[in-house]
Amino acid sequence: MFDPPDRLLLGLVTGTLFGFLLQKGRVAKYPIILGQLLLKDWTVLKIMLTAIAVGAIGVYGLVAVELASLHIKPMLWEGVLVGGVLFGIGIAIFGYCPGTGVAACGEGRKDAMVGVVGMLAGAWAYVWMYPLLVPLIGDDGDWGKITLPEVTGIPAWGWFVLVWLIAVGVNVGLPHSRPVMQDQSEKTALH
Amino acid sequence: MNVLSQKYWSPYVVGVAIGVLSWFAFASADHPLGITTPFEHTAALIFQTADPALTQAYMQKTEKQPVIGWEWMLVLGVFSGASLSAWLSGDRTREIVPELWQWRFGSSVPLRLAGAFLGAALMMIGARIAQGCTSGHGISGTLQLALSSWVFVVVIFSVSALTAFIMFGKRGREHV
């Protein structure tokens, strides 16, 4: 039931760095998440696309030298589409995603704390409903653990170039907010 | 000014750092960053203790033993890391009802908390059906060029933006 202590410690250290970065990146804040969904403040997509562009090259490099392996989630069409729709509606109402919701608790946000309890309740509902959900997440429509290079025949480096172009385009072309000091009170401004 | 006590790091810096952190996660634990699996495991463990019959179908089908492991500690770490960052920069808040929500739905605390609870529960059900969240699919899966993850992020951004515009409209943009 428990991982060995060194692995638990490793998880804690990795998570601490992740949470620290999410808070510094200001994505543990309701107005930043909703600013993204209302297509005004692109902080969330800038962070995600930059992380993906940088992460992809390193992780594929680690796999190439056999220091890590890929962990691809299966392409279950019904599961990904139905799950994605429910997730998308939920995030707009809650105002945080799972990781940023946990991070927002660290800022003292009470709505996020109640949301984390709601997340546990949702997980409970999922386990309870599991027998009913099996058709959605079972074998039907399962393409398996497949990657974009495998589906399209375009090699991984071609996808890296595309991801970098999108990441640079969004980073350069779209605005994000940052706090500015103004008469002792803090406002935010797009730039 | 000490960088650790700043309230704002540029999204480019944070994005690069999270990308490098994903290298670290793969290299040190051979595990992608993800948040929601331990919630499922915790729920299953509680169920198992309370009434094993309820989880029998789940246990048989998933053929996996829920664990308190690396991912569980990762979630705990996200909380402690964000707490540390917020404490160092004095970036803590007592706010319960965000300004945008207040503008649209009023200042009722129970209403906001009910919305947070139900929205978060729906989000978690969706994440477990799709087998990933904004971290597991949105960052870790996409950087591995997984088809499922790219489909998932396109769906969640389209649906969440649509929902936000239905809830708050274009004028809501003046309040974020």
- Which class for B154: exposed (0-12), middle (13-18), buried (19 or more C-beta within 10 A)? exposed
> Using CA atoms, how far apart are residues B76 and A5, in angstroms rounded to an integer?
15
**pLDDT for the residue numbered A185:** 54
Q: Is the pLDDT of residue A97 over 60?
A: yes
Percent of chain A with pLDDT over 70: 94
pLDDT, residue A136, reads 75
Give me the mean pLDDT over the A78-106 stretch.
Answer: 97
- The closest alpha carbon to B82, from A101, A22, A114, belongs to A22
Distance CA A105, CA A92 (A): 18
Specify the pLDDT at position A171.
Answer: 97
- Buried b / exposed e over A79-111, threshold 16 CB at 10 Å, is bbbbbbbbbbbbbbbbbbbbbbbbbbbbbbbbb
Token pair in block for residue A19: 């949470």
pLDDT computed for residue B63 by the predictor:
63
Give the per-residue pLDDT at A117: 98
Q: What is the residue-level pLDDT of chain B in tens, covering all 176 positions?
A: 689 999 999 999 999 999 999 999 999 999 999 999 999 999 988 888 887 777 777 877 676 666 789 999 999 999 999 999 999 999 999 999 999 999 999 999 999 999 999 999 999 999 999 999 999 999 999 999 999 999 999 999 999 999 999 999 999 999 99
pLDDT of residue A187: 66
Nearest to B113 among A9, A114, A124 (CB): A114
Choosing among B37, B134, B167, which should be mutated to test the A contact, i.e. which has the most A CBs within 10 A? B134
Query: What is the band of A191 on the pLDDT scale with cuts at 50, 70, 90?
Result: low
Angle at A168 between CA B15 and CA B16, to 5 degrees: 20
Tens digit of each residue's pLDDT (9 = 90 or more) over A121-161: 999 999 989 888 887 776 656 788 999 999 999 999 999 99
The token duo for A144 is 């398996």
pLDDT above 80 for A180: no
Three-point CA angle B12, B18, B24, nearest 5°: 145
So what's the pLDDT on residue A30?
Answer: 98
Helices (H), strands (E): how many in chain A? Answer: 8, 2
Which contiguous run of DSSP H or E holds residue A180? strand A177-182
Q: Is residue A183 pLDDT above 70, yes or no? A: no
Distance, in Å, from the CA atom of A87 to the CA atom of B122, rounded to the nearest integer, reads 6
Q: Which residue has better confidence, B25 or A186?
A: B25
Type of residue at B162: L
Is the CB of A131 less than 8 angstroms away from the CB of B11? no
B93 and A143 within 8 Å at the Cβ level: the answer is no
- On the question of pLDDT at A1 being above 70, the answer is yes
**B 20-59 near A (Cβ less than 8 A):** 20-33, 35-36, 39-40, 42-47, 54-55, 57-58
Q: In this structure, what token pair is assigned to residue A179?
A: 């706090």
Residue pairs spanning A and B at CB distance below 8 A: 518
Residue A8 Cα, gap to closest chain B Cα (Å): 5
Q: ipTM of the predicted structure?
A: 0.95
Q: Which of residues 87-116 of B touch A (CB under 8 A)?
A: 89, 91-101, 112-113, 115-116
